[in-house]
Amino acid sequence: MNAISLVVQLLLSSRLLSRLGVIGAVGIMPFLLTLGGASAFAVGGSMTVALVAKTFDGSLRHSLNRTGTELLYLPLPAVAR
pTM as predicted: 0.76
Provide the residue ranges of all domains of the chain, joining segments of one domain with +: 2-73
Contact 69, 49 (CB under 8 A): no
- CB-count burial class (<10 Å; 0-12, 13-18, 19+) for 26: buried
pLDDT band at 81 (very low <50, low <70, confident <90, very high): low
Q: What would the pLDDT profile of 20-69 be if each residue is shown by its tens digit?
A: 988 898 999 999 999 988 998 898 878 888 888 888 888 888 888 888 88
Better-predicted residue by pLDDT, 8 or 38: 38
